[in-house]
Amino acid sequence: MTFEGTYTAIVTPFRADGAVDVDALTDLVEWQVESGVDGLVPCGSTGESATLSHAEHVQVVRRVVEVVRGRIPIIAGTGSNSTLEAVELTREARAVGADGALLISPYYNKPTQEGIFHHYRTIAEETGLPLIAYNIPGRTASRIEPETTGRLSRVPGVVGLKEAGGDLGLTSRTLALVESGFMVLSGDDSLTLPMLAIGARGVISTTANVAPREMAEITRRFLQGDAEGARAAHFQLLPLMEALFLEPNPIPVKTALAILGRIPDPVLRLPLTPIQKVTRDRLEAALTELPRK
C-alpha cells in the first residue's frame, strides 16, 4: 500500500470526566473524510498516545476504523521505547483493521543506530503490518540517521519515514539513500512544501485537524504538478501552522477545535495543561484570518 498526500494526525477528544469522547471522535473522523484528507493517523503524538492506556489505544483505533469504513487508509500510532510493547500495540492495531502503523523512534533509552534498526526490523517481522518509522529528535533525544533509514528501506514491511527532524539537509541525504518506493512524509507542517520539493510524498499533519481541506490542497496540488498553487496554499496556512505550535502539541490544536465547535471542550490529560491567554489570542487571530471553505 502507498501512503502519500495529507494524513491527519487526529486528536483524541476527552470528556470532562477524562474518558475518551467517542461521539466527538466519530464526528471528527467523519468531517475529516468528507473534507478530502488522504488518510488518518490515530494515537500519535497529537492524539496524546503517551497518556492513553493500551485498552484506549485499541478503542480509538477500532472506532476510527469503524467510522472510516475503508474510504481512506488508517495508520495507527503504535510506537514505544520497548520493542516488545510496540510489537503488541502493532498487532492489536492490525487486528482491529488498521492499514499501517506509525512508530516513534525509541525515546529516553537512547539506543544506538544499530538498536534503532533492529527495533524496527523486529516489529516488521513480528507483525506483518506496513510500518512507518518516525524521526523526531526533539521528543526522543536521539535521531534516526539517514544511513539507518537507508538500511530500513530495504527491510520488508518498513515502507516509509515520518521526518520531523527539522533539517532539510539531512532529509535530502535520507531521500538520496532510501530504496525506490520508500515514502518519506513530512512531520513538520511548515516544512511540508520544501520537503515535497526534494522528494517527500506527503505529510502527517497536525494542522489538518483544523483545516483539512486547506492542508490537503498543498500536497494535492504539488503532487499534481501545480507548484505555484501549492505555494499559495502553503502561505495561506502558514500563520495557522505557526500558531498551532506556540505551546506543546496538542494544546493549541485542541483549543482551536473547541473554538471552531468541532469538539465540546479542549480537555487534556496531565501533564498537559490549558492554553495560556496570550497564546489563545494569537490562535484566535490566526483562525480568523483563515478563509473557511
Please identify every residue annotated as catalytic: 134, 162
Taking the C-alpha atoms of residue 116 and residue 113, their distance in angstroms, rounded to an integer, is 5
Contact (CB, 8 A) for 211 and 192: no
Contact (CB, 8 A) for 271 and 192: no
Taking the C-alpha atoms of residue 220 and residue 37, their distance in angstroms, rounded to an integer, is 10
Taking the C-alpha atoms of residue 139 and residue 228, their distance in angstroms, rounded to an integer, is 33
Name the strand (E) or helix (H) holding 288.
Answer: helix 277-289
Residue 36 gets the label, from left (phi > 0), alpha (psi -120 to 50) or beta, of left
Name the strand (E) or helix (H) holding 152.
Answer: helix 146-152
- Count Cα neighbours of 152 within 13 Å in the Cβ-side half-sphere: 35
Strands (E), the chain: 5-8, 39-40, 75-77, 100-104, 131-135, 158-163, 183-186, 202-205
Contact (CB, 8 A) for 218 and 195: no
